Amino acid sequence: MQLASRGPSADNERPRSDRSPMTTQTHFPLLERVDSPADLRNLPVAQLAVLAAEARRFLIESVSETGGHLAANLGAVELTIALHHVFNTPDDRLIWDVGHQSYLHKILTGRRRRMDSLRQKDGLAGFPKRAESLYDNFGVGHSSTSISAGLGMAIAAARAGSNRRVVAVIGDGAMTAGQAFEALNHAGTLDANLLVVLNDNDMSISPNVGGLSNYLARVLSGRTYATVRAGSKKVLANMPTVWELARRAEEHMKGMVVPGTLFEELGFNYIGPIDGHDLDAVVKTLRNLRALKGPQLLHVVTQKGKGYRPAEKNPCKFHGVGKFDPQTGDAGTAGTDSRTYTQVFGDWICDMAAQDDRLVAITPAMREGSGLVEFSERFAARYFDVGIAEQHSVTLAAGMACDGLKPVVAIYSTFLQRAYDQLIHDVALQNLPILFAIDRGGLVGADGPTHAGSFDLSYLRCIPNMTLMAPADEDECRKMLSTGYRLEGPAAVRYPRGSGPGAAVDAGLEPLPVGKAKLCREGRDVALLVFGSPLAAALEAAERLNASVVNMRFIKPLDAECVARLAATHSLLVTIEDNAVAGGAGCAVAELLTGQGQRAALLMLGIPDRFIEHATREQQLAECGLDAEGIYHRVQRELAGRIASLRAVD
């Protein structure tokens, strides 16, 4: 089978002098022989441990140069090797949940030589991507999708009369999401040939790992046990009393040694837990399971960061890491003294909590990423990490708000999409005073389209009762958080990933006047109406255009007076936002002008109607024409086109 994308061939590689040490044959002699899973399957089992050691070193060196998700990948080395060794991929389907642990999968499927391009413009994606390789059976980035997708593929295989196997890998964290249980509940009612591999690297569902567990796993996954178990069910089904006694006895026996009762009740044959770093045990168990029919669940226990001391000691730091020194684990300097918007939020919520004991913070498993570490330590009783359960997080906040608390939901823009119904039905419809602190708004850089918050201004502004703000700098972010917190209805402050322009932050908790824009530069003919982070680029472009610049601040409610005044005094209004043009802030301005009966010329700049692939955030903004140069040229083209049209009429 021909791969869609295998990377450059050996003949087309860069000269050896240009290659990094991680790609030299002497450094990884066995790994260099594996260019496809077929090569891996030709290796004897005795060599797999050597391959695992080389793969782990390669991952450390590779990610140290590109940045990426390291800890989860190190923990899944043996599991990845075993899966590709036992199953006939890509004909057998292998689906990775989230994709944080898929780097070795990419390496073993013909993309090793391209790993130096990981998460970079025009390079390999940081997650499985169907367009990238035939081995990437399902595109992911968000959690808890693998079981649903795998079940769909298993059903399709059965309909086609195919004997292909389907394996869905899911982590213990992703298993906390409701979708995972919805999929398990459905799969257990079907006779689909689906293997779910629960990669348990943190939650420790059971400590029962070791020789006995591995032995039991091999026994319970064997054909003899499965045959006897299935046959006994058929015989005893005609003797209800005896069957119930046998069922309870089996549950009692298994419950003493394996924590599988829940999965068994859902209709899965539960196997495990086994040591996910014991290649021999994992390979033997997977071979047994490959021969079994129906829904199976294998529970493997692994360690995040396995084999790399800095990542073992601090897996959270190495969850998503920038470039670092592989010898020490130390990261390089960021190159800026500016505080991130996440840090601004983290400071604000602690200050506001100290002033108001009604404040509670909720996050769906994003404490570090959302800036809530200090809050969780200082106000532990008022901090709620609900796991990967975005829908629950929003309705939980609604319940709290109904009885007098003041919830702040810290959530990424792209994850809030998952709780859209709850946002409408449970919060906005009841006009509850909940503040949504939305991180990672707009384009997010290396994580690409799966994590881009490109649509929040569009999907939030159409909701009644919602107040929606986008800060242009760090100080404005803090003031907007105070503004939203004090409102009697739902409010959202949406801010981008990373640092702001470096504005000094007032330590106070004073709000902004609701729905009021700010004139930043007075010019002629052209007015730039900026929503959020593109303000600095707009001001730079405005100097060349001699344009007026207004920091709109509020997407909802819009400053109607300001827009009307600008429309009356300028020949062209230009809206600028780090959001999809479709349905975004620019559309809000267009709707307002139409409602006012104004026929002002309007140019809307934002993210075009397509997904923007991974690159640096700066490269993505330039691609969308949202940097200073892009804004200047787009406006100039619009003006030139209008002049040409007028001349044609004359």
Active site residues: 304, 390, 418
Q: How many helices (H) and strands (E) does the chain have?
A: 26, 17
Q: Which residues are within 8 A (CB) of 213 and not within 5 positions of it... i.e. 6 or more apart?
A: 257, 258, 272, 273, 274, 275
User: Of 380, 431, 428, 386, nearest to 410 (Cα)?
Assistant: 386
Peptide bond into 273 cis (omega under 30): yes
Residue 521 parent element (H or E): strand 518-521
Pairwise CA distance, residues 320 & 448, whole Å: 14
The CA-atom distances, in angstroms, between 540 and each of 356, 382, 498, 522, 632 are 40, 43, 20, 13, 9
User: Of 582, 634, 584, 585, nearest to 610 (Cα)?
Assistant: 582
**Identity of the amino acid at 109:** T
Backbone region of residue 286 per phi and psi (left: phi > 0; alpha: psi in -120 to 50; beta: other values): alpha
User: Do 181 and 393 contact (CB within 8 A), yes or no?
Assistant: no
User: Do 342 and 439 contact (CB within 8 A), yes or no?
Assistant: yes
| Token code pair at residue 209 | 């790992």
CA 593 to chain CA centroid, nearest Å = 37
Pairwise CA distance, residues 308 & 327, whole Å: 10
Sheet of strand 601-607, all strands in order from the earlier edge strand to the far edge: 518-521, 548-551, 526-531, 572-580, 601-607
Cβ neighbour number for residue 18 with a 10 Å cutoff: 8
Pairwise CA distance, residues 126 & 447, whole Å: 6
Pairwise CA distance, residues 408 & 350, whole Å: 12
CA atoms within a 13 Å half-sphere pointing along the CA-CB vector of 56:
23
Which stretches of 266-340 are DSSP H helices? 279-290, 309-313
Pairwise CA distance, residues 108 & 29, whole Å: 14
Q: What is the 3-state secondary structure (H, E, C) of 119-177?
A: CCCCCCCCCCCCCCCCCCCCCCCCCCCHHHHHHHHHHHHHHCCCCCCEEEEEECCHHHC
Pairwise CA distance, residues 386 & 650, whole Å: 65
Pairwise CA distance, residues 410 & 419, whole Å: 13
| Token code pair at residue 586 | 């620019």
